[in-house]
Amino acid sequence: MSNGSTFPPRRRFGGTLVVLAALLAACAAGWLVWRSTSGHGGDRPPKALPAASPSSPGGAPGKDGAGGTDRTDDGSGRDGSGRPAPDASDGKGDASGSGPGGRAGTRLKGKTVLLDPGHNIRNRDHTREIARQVDVGNGRKECDTTGTSTDDGYAEAAFTLDVARRARTLLRAEGAKVVFTQDGDRPYGPCVDERARAGNEAKADAAVSVHADGAGAGNRGFHVILPARVTAGAADTSAIVGPSRRLGEHLAGRFVAATGSAPANYLGGGTGLVVRSDLGGLNLSGIPKVFLECGNMRDAKDAAQLTDPQWREKAARGIAEGITGFLTE
């Protein structure tokens, strides 16, 4: 007579299989959830969201690269000597560093980028030399200007060099070759025609001239200056107008995302994009190139950002990501 001792072992074994199967299914589901949320599904950052594509022509002529008032400063800013501030990158980054997406990469391997830090902190000592007129194709402009400054003396030239050096480190981390028009190593300048020529001679794939504006207080935000179609004298921008616009749109989109800054409220119709035909650095360029006015140094709220090293790092990241987006589109 059976007391049931023959069958219970089989029932227990079958129950064990059911439990094991359930555990395996749960582990697999958990692994899939972890993979989808940890970013391991892809190494490329999201493509830049372009700013509104229609740009407003205009932008008041002023210094080469700004629509505002050109002012001479005393260079007494925090890093007004032209040397990198203690918090600034030394520009010696390489492909082993962290790129714009926060990881080392080679997305820009084989690409050359021209960064043009606007003005020169020593221009103030060479006013005669920088006042010399140079041919920009459709007219003549000053060789260079001193640039503007914040009310407390932080020079635009110090700002542009600091941000460009930070962006250089990020771009090199993505494998790019980065060429500078000046690195605080010149007595003045270079002139605007030489700045354009530097990118042409380097056969750069993209060029960005870094600036900060000098418009009146209350005028806030950034804007990207795109080249107009100019065919006069030595200038012929026909081939670069289209790609320069795409570069500008990538740059505007990424700059917003990285810094939280809004497009300029005083020109560009809220797009952050402006077209100009009076800038030698654009007119004489044979490669895709734009100017970026990162903010307005004469407005107290913008100046507080421009003088903040942490914000400048964000600005550099926006520049690097914008260039990377353009070159990998």
pLDDT of residue 95: 34
Residues contacting 294, CB < 8 A, separation 6+: 159, 163, 210, 211, 212, 222, 255, 261, 306, 315
Please give the share of the chain, as a percent, with pLDDT higher than 70: 68
Backbone angles phi, psi at 263, to 5 degrees: -60, 155
**Residues found in the chain:** 329
How confident is the model over 283-304, as pLDDT tens digits? 999 999 999 999 999 999 999 9
Q: What is the pLDDT along the chain (329 residues), one digit of tens a residue?
A: 333 333 334 444 445 444 444 544 544 444 433 333 333 333 333 333 343 333 333 333 344 433 333 333 333 334 443 343 433 444 333 333 455 554 568 999 999 999 999 999 999 999 999 999 999 999 999 999 999 999 999 999 999 999 999 999 999 999 999 999 999 999 999 999 999 999 999 999 999 999 999 999 999 999 999 999 999 999 999 999 999 999 999 999 999 999 999 999 999 999 999 999 999 999 999 999 999 999 999 999 999 999 999 999 999 999 999 999 999 99
Residues contacting 1, CB < 8 A, separation 6+: none
Q: Are 80 and 153 in contact (CB under 8 A)?
A: yes
How confident is the model over 12-56, as pLDDT tens digits? 444 544 444 454 454 444 443 333 333 333 333 333 334 333 333
30/185 Cα distance (integer angstroms):
56
Is 201 in the active site?
Answer: no
HSE at residue 138, side-chain half, CA atoms within 13 A, is 17
pLDDT of residue 103: 56
Residues contacting 156, CB < 8 A, separation 6+: 73, 118, 119, 147, 148, 149, 211, 212, 214, 297
Set 156, 194, 249, 293: catalytic member: 293
Neighbours of 295 (CB within 10 A): 28
Q: What is the dihedral of CA 114, 120, 126, 130, to 10 degrees?
A: 50
pLDDT of residue 66: 39
| Continuous H helices in 86-139 | 127-130
DSSP secondary structure letters along 52-87 = PS--EE-----STT-SS--------STTTTSSPPTT
pLDDT of residue 94: 37
pTM given for the model: 0.74
